[in-house]
Amino acid sequence: MTAVGAPAGAAEDRDARGDVPVRRLTVLYDAECPLCTYLRNWLVKQRQLVPLDLVPAGHSRARALFPGLDHAATLSDITVIGDGGQIYRGAAAWIVCMWALRDHRATAHRMATPAGMKIAKQMVLGAAKYREHTRDRQAGGGAYRRADGWTYDPKDGWFYEAYGYADEPPACDSSCRPGD
């Protein structure tokens, strides 16, 4: 895998280091995100060819380890830092995590191809959408709203609120069902 940058404050720039082997990776994950913590726990259980240190993004430990890193950005996009100063974000970060795992290294090599990278980017976008939805629910939202006016709230079920009149859906035939 090639590095996409080096952390601020690195003693040498990437060109001066050349290709530095990766012997250890630090994965910064959002400890408030259920998906991120699930994946963190999954990574810990995998056989690792390259050791992974999993550190909550934005945590004091992460700030101490990488003082020149934009820690606000690490909360919105998965960030993996190699022991040689390599920084991987987004799809590249997911791929390098798989590359570090014994049972998933071949998949990582396939995902690092142009066609595989498209899939990896879609996975990252899907995860971001899930995280956004989860964050909204944790903030008290919790309701799923459709563009046609139907809303599903886990506490109250489906209701129609396009015009502010709950439980008054538009006229339709008998096959019309909320959530279809």
Residue 161 DSSP label: -
User: pLDDT, tens digit, for every residue of 36-69?
Assistant: 888 899 999 999 999 999 999 989 999 999 999 9
For residue 94, what are the contacts with CB-CB under 8 A and spacing of at least 6? 78, 111, 120, 123, 124
CB 31 within 8 A of CB 57: yes
Residue 144 DSSP SS3 = strand
User: pLDDT, tens digit, for every residue of 85-95?
Assistant: 999 998 999 99
pLDDT at 154 over 70: no
In this predicted structure, what is the pLDDT of residue 14?
42
Which strands, in side-by-side order, build the sheet including 52-56? 52-56, 25-29, 79-82, 87-89
Residue with tokens 């791929």: 95
CA distances from 143 to 31, 47, 133, 151, 153 (A): 23, 39, 10, 7, 4
